[in-house]
Amino acid sequence: MPRFSANLGFLWQDRPLLERIDAAHTAGFRAVELHWPYDTPPELVRARCATHGLTLLSINTPLGRTELGEFGLGALPGREADFLEGFNVAHTWATAAGACAIHVMAGVVAPEMQAAARETLIANLRTAAAVASEMTLLLEGLNQHDKPGYFYSTLAAKAAIIAAVGAGNVRILFDAYHVGRSEGDVFGNLRRHLPLIGHVQIAAVPSRTEPDEGEVDYARFFDDLDRLGYAGWVGCEYKPRSDTDSGLGWLRKMNATLS
């Protein structure tokens, strides 16, 4: 059975970040991952995780000008300086907090800008990979139902970007929810892309709730992860149907444990 981390962007959203870390520990998690934690001092996050013996995995790069519809800057032509500034903020925060990975968000791109966006993302990732050589940089495709126009939504697209970048610390974030919504064949895609996968996340397809319903048999998915030799964490990045603690009953249903 894989090791599970609590994604505190979605779990225990009714409380401040430091209290979410406390809740994750109380529930039995041994690792946490974050979305955009920049309003909390990283030193406080590091200290709280250390108090509980929690591993801090990852954060996301800044979104940009959300009032203009931006959702990441990595692939936006003309915003290279803004991307690097935001990436440096993420790198500094992650280093101070003790995180080991950064999800580099590509952003929403107009169809006519796809070619230019690809070259922009490759160049930005080369720079970022060198700046944060001690970090794993994660690429996640967002499905077009949830985020129309996001630069990529398929694993093949991310694999091609990684090959073009040519840096060993750039990896795929395999979110089974987004894979299921974007292209299906979650099990086949897992096997095909395992060598490039740096992190895994889960949620029910298509509801994005606890992983005990929907189109993906997660008990089988966890067995496949074990059989394939995946040694990383599995992030619980789902939106609870009610309160987070009550929803953790899915672990018992699958004979899974957090320890």
Q: Which residues are catalytic?
A: 140, 237
Residue 139 in contact with residue 172, Cβ under 8 Å? yes
Cis ω before 2 (30° cut-off from 0): no
Q: How many CA atoms lie within 13 A of 225 on its CB side?
A: 24
Q: What are the angstrom distances between the C-alpha of 31 and each of 95, 133, 215?
A: 16, 22, 27
189, burial (CB in 10 Å: exposed 0-12, middle 13-18, buried 19+): buried
